Amino acid sequence: MSMSNSLKKLSSCVLLDLDGTLINTDGIVSDILKKYLCKYGKQWDGRESLKIVGKTPLEAATTIVEDYGLPCAVDEFNSEFYPLFSAQMDKIKSLPGANRLIRHLKGHGVPMALASNSSRANIESKISYHEGWKECFSVIVGRDEVSKGKPSPDIFLEAARRLNKEPADCLVIEDSVPGVMAAKAAGTQVIAVPSLPKQTHLYTSADEVINSLLDIRPEKWGLPPFQDWIENTLPIDPWRIGGPVIKGFGRGSKVLGIPTANLSTKDYADELVEHPSGVYFGWAGLPKRGVFKMVMSIGWNPYFNNTEKTIEPWLLHDFTEDFYGEELRLIIVGYIRPEANFSSLESLIAKIHEDRDVAEKALDLPLYAKFKDDPSLTK
């Protein structure tokens, strides 16, 4: 049995990283850098995110100034960057599952600390835009309160000390490689939730690597389990997309016997970034034909190792013909599991059939069934 299915060492408190773990700071930083670098005639390369994730603000700034050969000192860069960043701070969204996680732990009296490579003042400003968050953390430790930032263990050691806990009794949740290194050096347990795609292989020292906060199972760590899973599904805030059905990779029905009606990814790029990859379900409307149950994957289809993140919706109905070009509306209401890789095509197909059965059944529950009448499905 793999480690991820067994009980880990018990934890009695949780130390959380902030940027990239609870809030999507990267999105705003990328937006600002895109515009900022234009000024110097440079173009923001999304891959730079890989280099700055988990760094202290000073290290991140140094990396950017050096990599882009900017004709300014790091201080100058910072004094121009920070006002731009502060002005956008209120727009930093919480990541899917972040609110649910901290409210759950708070509700069960599990002590929590925020342990971040940002300065304390910066942390406090960022969380002030998220209602009720400040009250959830009995301890906050910033980079400026210890002598060394992550990957040094200092921030986590100080957080544990202020909670009156041994590091071995703490569970750290981190998105970055330096953060995971810091946690292991401090002697805590650590769950890695990589904020950038296809990076799992870099997190070998983590005790568990999960795809998003939706996949946390607190009971594995001796913490109270979530109680919001219903018949193997997790209700989510419903979201909607739609557009004409286009040609996909051309292997849904041919290889798998599972046709998936694809939409142009350009039309829902924001939604694709915002929603973690995984298997979801909901309702699909074809205005000329009706409303149907639907189960879908979002992501890179690890089995096929796609380079593009797509949505693959399988309508749970036998159609006698294709419907390319027709308008398709989707409302996504629940989550089933993370995307997985499989050792054979048969096992991938068997798992997708299992997903179908879960979705079919769940969509009859009033909590999900009510969205069948959502006006957006039929226009």
In 10 A of CB 79, how many CB atoms? 11
Q: How far apart are CA 289 and CA 315, in angstroms?
A: 12
The one-letter amino acid at 9: K
What are φ and ψ of residue 110, in 5° steps? -80, 120
Residue placing its CB nearer to ligand ADP in the complex, 222 or 248? 248
354 is catalytic: no
| Two structure tokens written together for 168 | 């071995």
Residue 89 binds which entry of ligand ADP, Mg ion, ligand RBF, none, CB below 5-8 Å type-dependent: none
Active site residue 75: no
Query: Rounded distance, CA 183 to CA 174, Å?
Result: 9
Positions touching ligand RBF (CB under 6 A) are 248-249, 251-252, 256, 258, 260, 279, 295-297, 301-304, 312, 314, 339-340, 348, 352, 355
Chain residues 260-279 in contact with ligand ADP, contact rule CB under 6 A: 260-262
Q: Are strands 262-263 and 278-286 parallel, antiparallel or unpaired?
A: unpaired
- Please identify, using beta-carbon distances, which residue of 122 and 262 lies nearer to Mg ion: 262
Q: Tell me if 314 contacts ligand ADP by CB under 6 A.
A: yes
Query: Which C-beta is closer to ligand RBF: that of 223 or that of 295?
Result: 295
Residue 51 neighbours by CB distance under 10 Å: 14
Least Å distance between CB 181 and ligand RBF?
29
Look up 135 and say whether it is catalytic. no
Q: Tell me whether the omega of the peptide bond preceding residue 153 falls within 30 degrees of 0, making it cis.
A: no
Catalytic residue among 17, 26, 158, 207: 17
Among 182, 315, 336, 358, binds ligand ADP (CB under 6 A): 315
Among candidate residues 26, 154, 174, 312, the one labeled active-site is 312
DSSP 301-333: -TTTT-SS-EEEEEESS--SS--TTSEEEEEEE
Q: Closest residue to ligand RBF, Cβ-based?
A: 303
Query: Is residue 287 a contact residue for ligand ADP (CB under 6 A)?
Result: no
Burial 91-113 (b: 16+ CB within 10 A, else e): ebebbbbbbbbbebbbeeebbbb
Assess 308 for contact with ligand ADP (CB under 6 A). Answer: no
Active-site residue list? 17, 19, 312
